[in-house]
Amino acid sequence: MSNSRNSRRTQQWRDTTIPRRPLLWLAAALLFTLPALLGTLASWVPFLFLFALVLKFWMEPRGYRLRSTSLKLILMALTLGAIFLSYNTLKGIEPAVSLLTVLVSLKILEAHTAREFQVMVTMAWVLCLCGFLLSQDLAIAFCLFVAFALLIAALVQFHRGSSPGAFWLPLATTLKLVAQAAPVVVLLFLLFPRINTGFQFRIGDLHAAMTGFSDRLSPGGIEMLANSSDIAFRAEFPDRRTRPAGPMYWRGLVMWHCEGLEWRAPYAPASISDSSRQYPASDKAIRQRITIAPHGARWMFALDRPFGIPSGAMLARGNYLYSVQPIRKSRRYEVLSSTDPIGKELGARERREALQLPASISPAVRELAGSLAARNSGPRATVASALQFFRTQGFRYSLSPGEYNKNDLDEFLFRRRTGFCEHYAASFATLMRLAGIPARVVVGYLGGEYNDLGGFFLVRQADTHAWCEVWIPENGWTRIDPTTAVAPDRASLDLSSFLAGRIASGEMATGRTAFVTQLARLPLVNQIRLIWEALNYQWDTRVLAFDADVQDVLLTSLGLTNSGPFPLVMQVLIVVSALLIIYAGWMQLQTRPRADRIQALYERYCQKLARIGVQRDPWEGPSDFAKRAAQSLPNASECVRQITETYIALRYAPGPTAISLDKFAKEIDAVTAHR
Amino acid sequence: MKAGKFPLLYPTASFAGLLFVLGAMWYAASSQNSPAVYLLLFALTAVFLVSIPHTLLNLADVTIAPESAKPAFAGQEVSLPVEIMNCSRATRRGIQLVVPGRGGKRKHVDCIPAGKAARVTLRFPAKQRGEHRIATLRLTSTYPLGFVRVLKKFGSSQTYLVYPKPSGDPRLPMHRARSPHSRPQTELAEGDDFAGVRAYVPGESQRHIDWRAVARGQPLMTKQFAAEAEGSVHLDFSALRFHGAEERLSQLALWVIEAERVRRPYSLRLPNTEIAPAVGEAHFHRCLRALSLFPGKEGA
């Protein structure tokens, strides 16, 4: 008795009905949504998620599942509390995504019916959506699209039924569906109007993840970026696909305010009035098309020095591009630059600003600056002797020069003499100001890696560089890069190759292991990296940059915007339906049974007999039918026998038969005569 | 079998889930002006749209041929074997067959290769005695993605018989034996002499099933015993003292089964029919058929 009750209870526990295979596909899809969410989830949530997946695959064959309502409620309350403890709030996108992931985890443990499988798939789509909202990096997008395909495969597998079959079959169907869907996606993506709902929600702290330099050049600030492989921007040269002669200095922003080793850019830079701008000869202009990665600040990059202004930006004092809006998403613009020095005269206010100095300069530094200026007469000679000072006094270029404070100018110039580009630029500009030469610091990027496939230069955060500009009356603002005095190769190579060279010659220690460095220099790895970067570029420029504004430009150029969005929606829908009808027709043609002449002739014969009065039943074999027909039509019995024999020979004989189809046709034509 | 002109197409419950997801994606995409989310939205929309012709064509050139259903007793299950033929040149997957309005379960067929057929047995409860017509059979499919369901109706003239539910007194009516050749009987004892086996008829007592034969993998057979008592038994509708016709038919059905089981010749007399005494499977079904078709409260 108790035994039977026990077994009934066990039976009750064991009633999972979701077949294992669709669940496997679904689990794989959920795993692929995880990378996109990792940065946002509370640290314990991914572990819970993975634990739930593993537990499900342990429970499922044994037939266990989470079924007690009170246990579910307790778990729900516990996880909700844990999320609150992790974030100190339940509002905002991060707790929401964590909560959703937790819900999915609990659902995995609970689900057992077909409907719950559908609910899980729906939740997985929403996780994909969250992933795309949180990160639009190509690698993440790739993972999410894999998850998308796996979800479709899970659905296909689910609706196929539970019979055993090839494992790749749902995948093949998925690929077919995706391939057929691709033209529809392109059409919808390009033409379907992006109607703005006007209701925005901000996804919190997006710019926390953004990297880039700040408006303050402090010792150690650029060093931190030197190991970052994040992309700063990509540049194409649409007119000449070759790189311009000489090293590429990408101008970022100009710093005027000196505090010794630390420099600062104005908080709200004044724009250069249109009349005071000078345009160089147009044949010397270099056109660039730049796709900038979001960095949260407002400066934009262009080859030294820009003079054409892209829309939504201004040219700030100091000849650098300054965006009207903070750059929070990928943006593409065209800009013209000229390598000629610009500036014919220095205004009184600018001169004052370019000579500003902090009070805390030590007498030793003042003495050094005085000696640099006194020995020579002109500013050019002063500059040259200062560079000579850096070159000959045992200064070293290093990624890890140790810590400096902003007042450590003495420490750097007289004692340690080890620094990174920012130390050289800051100290050089300070020395120039002390020597009476107007000077400023420019922060931007140097170099960039050319990608053959994409035909663009990729500039990373690691390429961040700082240099100086000094005012030389007959020439205007002139670029001086004091780092080249110490490390002459730096300007002609990008930083990573420069460092690689240093590491190879044993001059520098590195954080990376030798193996990784070796691996990164293999031609195959390098090739793969270049392809990946080219793909990244296409993703950024063709997909991520194609927002509502760009679409508007495209639609206008196609002449489709005149009539408003709704006729356009109708047109798109008509084209899509036409495409679907074509697909349906094509598939129908592919799968329709082949017209079979023997069968067609035999059916004609059956129709003839039916007219005479003998109807063939659908389940009746030809011989049975012939017997019956011969009985009820004794006159035609010979003919019926003959035709049936021929038919069977034609249709079922193993080898090719000698009987011609025409003879068969004639026999059938003769049927009415025997009536 | 003749199919309806056009297959019908309608959304399933999971379509509601899809609409919710698409709505969420559209809202997120338009409020963030995010091309990546738009891409996801359009990808899901496009895959859904493309799946429609796939589902629609999943039943193209698929026909069915119902075989004859075996008679069953009321209160039991009718099983209707149906052959689903795939005449197309593609493998068809995820097909369901259902008889509408009979309360039976839908039957799933996972896969029918090109040019092949699958045989399924539909089971649904036999509710009322009489001859019933299966007006329509439905093939449905939601393959591949399950957002829409295609439905193909097949008209049918297939009929099946439901015998009256056997009930009442299992003792055969001895005193009503009117055969001049029969010896008077006081009681019909179950004979001990094994007289052979015959095919099991659904509805009879399972006591006499030859389980040993079943264990050997043979079909269900009923053991028959020769009764000591010889002579035929007359089963007469009008001689029964019940009020309702249905009760009388049930009693007669039970007696037919019992008499057949002990292999005693029996005759059946209904107000409209008379069947001469005999024994054997053909006679057995003939009698039950007559009972089943007896005019009165009869299923359509």
Task: Please tell me whether residues A132 and A75 are part of one structural domain.
Answer: yes
Mutation for testing the A interface, residue in B15, B50, B67, B137 having most A CBs under 10 Å? B50
Q: A133, A160, A187: which is the final residue of a domain?
A: A160
Contact flag B60-A592 (C-beta cutoff 8 Å): yes
Residue the block writes with tokens 């015959």:
B198
Both A312 and A336 in a single domain? yes
Q: Are residues B210 and B125 in the same domain?
A: no
Structural domain count, chain A: 4
User: How many beta-carbon pairs below 8 A join chains A and B?
Assistant: 174
Lowest mean pLDDT among A182-186, A479-483, B30-34, B126-130: B30-34
pLDDT at B52: 93
* Same structural domain, A241 and A153: no
Q: Mutation test of the interface with chain B: which of A115, A126, A129, A176, choosing the one with the most B Cβ atoms within 10 A?
A: A129
Q: Which of B161, B124, B152 is nearest to B64 (CA)?
A: B152
A618 found inside a domain: yes
> Mean pLDDT across the stretch A179-194?
91
Q: Of A475, A499, A514, which marks where a domain is finished? A: A514
Chain B neighbors of A618, CB-CB under 8 A: 1, 65
A495 and A391: one domain? yes
Whether residues B36 and B142 fall in one domain = yes
Q: In this structure, which amino acid lies at residue A632? A: S
A338 belongs to a structural domain: yes
> Within a domain: residue B175?
no
Q: How does residue B53 score in pLDDT terms, banded at 50, 70 and 90?
A: very high
- Is B102 in the same domain as B231? no
pLDDT band at A474 (very low <50, low <70, confident <90, very high): confident
On whether both B157 and B201 belong to a single domain, the answer is no
* Cβ atoms of B155 and B135 closer than 8 Å: yes
A436-444 mean pLDDT: 90
Domain end: B163, B178, B203, which one?
B163
Tell whether A338 and A354 lie within a shared domain: no
Q: Are residues B140 and B279 in the same domain?
A: no
What residues does B198 pair with on adjacent strands? B222
Pairing relationship of beta strands B72-73 and B159-163 according to DSSP bridges: parallel
Q: Are residues B148 and B246 in the same domain?
A: no
Domain match, A333 and A355 both: no
Tell whether A202 is within 8 A of chain B (Cβ).
no
Q: Considering A494, A514, A534, which residue would you say is the last residue of a domain?
A: A514
Residues A422 and A222: their CA atoms lie apart, in Å, by 7
Helix H or strand E encompassing A234: strand A231-236
Residue B173 lies in a domain: no
Q: Kindly state whether residue A603 falls inside one of the protein's structural domains.
A: yes
Task: Tell me which DSSP letter residue A521 carries.
Answer: T
Contact B46 A184 (CB under 8 A): yes
Q: Rounded CA gap, A175 and A153, in Å?
A: 9
Distance from CA of B26 to the nearest CA of A (A): 9
| Residue A353 and residue A339 share a domain | no
Angle between helical axes of A69-87 and A93-110 (0-180°, round to 10): 160
Greatest mean pLDDT among A189-203, A432-446, A610-624, B261-275 lies in: A432-446
Q: Look up tokens 């540049």; give the residue.
A: A235
Residue B30 to residue A156, Cβ atoms within 8 A: no
Whether residue B197 is contained in a domain is answered as yes
Phi first, then psi, for residue A333 (nearest 5°) are -150, 160
| Residue whose structure tokens are 């429970």 | A59
List all residues of chain A from 574 to 593 with a beta carbon under 8 Å from chain B: 576, 580-581, 583-584, 587-588, 590-593
Q: Do B157 and B200 sit in the same domain of this protein?
A: no
Contact state of B40 with A148 under an 8 Å Cβ cutoff: yes
Q: CA A223: distance to chain centroid?
A: 27
Overall size of chain B counted in residues: 300
Which of A158, A177, A587 has the CB atom closest to B47's CB atom? A177
Do B92 and B60 form a contact (C-beta atoms < 8 A)?
Answer: no
Query: Does A191 reside within a domain?
Result: no
Q: Would residue B156 count as lying in a domain?
A: yes
- Asked if pLDDT for residue A637 goes beyond 60, the answer is yes
Per-chain mean pLDDT for chain A: 79
- How much is the average pLDDT of A475-496? 76
What CATH number did the domain enclosing B101 receive? 2.60.40.10
- When CB atoms are compared, the residue of B33, B37, B61 closest to A548 is B33
* pLDDT one-digit tens code per residue, B98-153: 888 777 778 888 888 888 888 888 888 888 888 888 878 888 998 889 899 999 98
Residue B201 falls inside a structural domain: yes
> Which residues in chain A are contacts of B93 at CB distance < 8 A?
159-161
Measure the CA–CA gap between B121 and B67, rounded to whole angstroms: 10
Question: Are residues A330 and A245 part of one domain?
Answer: yes
Contact A152 B21 (CB under 8 A): no
**CB neighbours of A356 closer than 8 A, spacing ≥ 6?**
A256, A257, A258, A433
Same domain for B45 and B143, yes or no, is: yes
Q: How far apart are CA B31 and CA B33, in angstroms?
A: 6
pLDDT over threshold 80, residue B224: no
Taking an 8 Å cut-off on Cβ atoms, the answer to whether A543 and B17 are in contact is: no
Q: Determine the pLDDT at residue A368.
A: 87
Q: What is the mean pLDDT of residues A586-609?
A: 80
Terminal CA-to-CA distance of chain A, rounded, Å?
77
CATH number, position A429: 3.10.620.30
Write down which residue in B120, B142, B163 finishes a domain. Answer: B163
Query: Domain limits at B251?
Result: 193-292
| H or E element, residue A548 | helix A548-558
Share of chain A above pLDDT 70, in %: 83
> What is the sign, positive or negative, of the torsion defined by CA atoms of A625, A631, A632, A633?
positive
* Mean pLDDT, residues B266-277 taken together: 85
Report if residue A289 sits inside a domain: yes
Instruction: Classify A253 as helix, strand or coil.
Output: strand
- Position A12 scores a pLDDT of 41
Least confident of A88-92, A575-579, B66-70: A88-92
3-state secondary structure at position B11: strand
- Amino acid (one-letter) located at B81: P
Same domain, A156 and A18: yes
Residue-level pLDDT at A50: 92
The answer to whether A114 faces chain B, any CB pair under 8 Å, is: no
State whether A286 and A386 are in the same domain.
Answer: no
B158 found inside a domain = yes
| Mean pLDDT computed over A342-354 | 79
Residue that terminates a domain, selected from B110, B145, B163 = B163
Residue with tokens 């949180």: A134
As to burial, measured by CB atoms within 10 angstroms (0-12 exposed, 13-18 middle, 19+ buried), residue A150 is buried
Asked if residue B184 belongs to a domain, the reply is: no
Least Cα separation, residue B48 to chain A (angstroms): 9
**CB of B77 closer than 8 Å to CB of B122:** no
Helix (H, G, I), strand (E, B) or coil at A218: coil
Residues B226, B273: one domain? yes
- Is the predicted pLDDT of residue A589 greater than 80, yes or no? yes
Regarding whether B220 and B110 lie in a shared domain, the answer is: no
- How many domains is chain B partitioned into structurally? 2
Rounded Cα–Cα distance for residues B257 and A539 (Å): 79
Please give the residue of chain A at the shortest CA–CA distance from B95: A160
User: For strand A286-292 and strand A331-337, is the pairing parallel, antiparallel, or unpaired?
Assistant: antiparallel
Does residue A664 lie in a domain region?
yes
- B159 and B223 in a single domain? The answer is no
Q: Rounded distance, CA A101 to CA A35, Å?
A: 12
Answer yes or no: do A137 and A79 share one domain. Answer: yes
Given an 8 Å threshold on Cβ–Cβ distance, is B42 in contact with A185?
Answer: yes
| Interface contact B93-A161, CB threshold 8 A | yes
Other CB atoms closer than 10 Å to residue A656's CB: what's the count? 6
Per residue in A212-222, pLDDT (tens digit) is 777 778 777 77
What's the pLDDT at A576?
Answer: 93
- What's the pTM value of the predicted model, to 2 decimals? 0.67
Is residue B18 located within the same domain as residue B152? yes
Q: Which domain holds residue A140?
A: 10-160
Same domain? For A379 and A506 the reply is: yes
Q: How far is A108 from chain B (nearest CA, A)?
A: 17
Please spell the DSSP secondary structure of A605-622, one letter per residue. Answer: HHHHHHHHT-PPPTT--H
Q: What are the structure tokens assigned to A25, written together?
A: 């596909």
Distance, in Å, from the CA atom of A484 to the CA atom of A467, rounded to the nearest integer, reads 10
- Does A179 contact B at CB distance below 8 Å? no
Flag whether A559 is in a domain.
Answer: no
Answer whether residue B183 is part of any domain.
no
- Whether A251 has a pLDDT exceeding 80, the answer reads yes
The closest CB to that of B25, out of A129, A200, A547, belongs to A129
Q: How far is CA B120 from the centre of its chain?
A: 11
- Min CA distance, A422 vs chain B (Å)? 37
d(CA A510, CA A521) in angstroms, rounded, equals: 15
Residue A544 lies in a domain: no
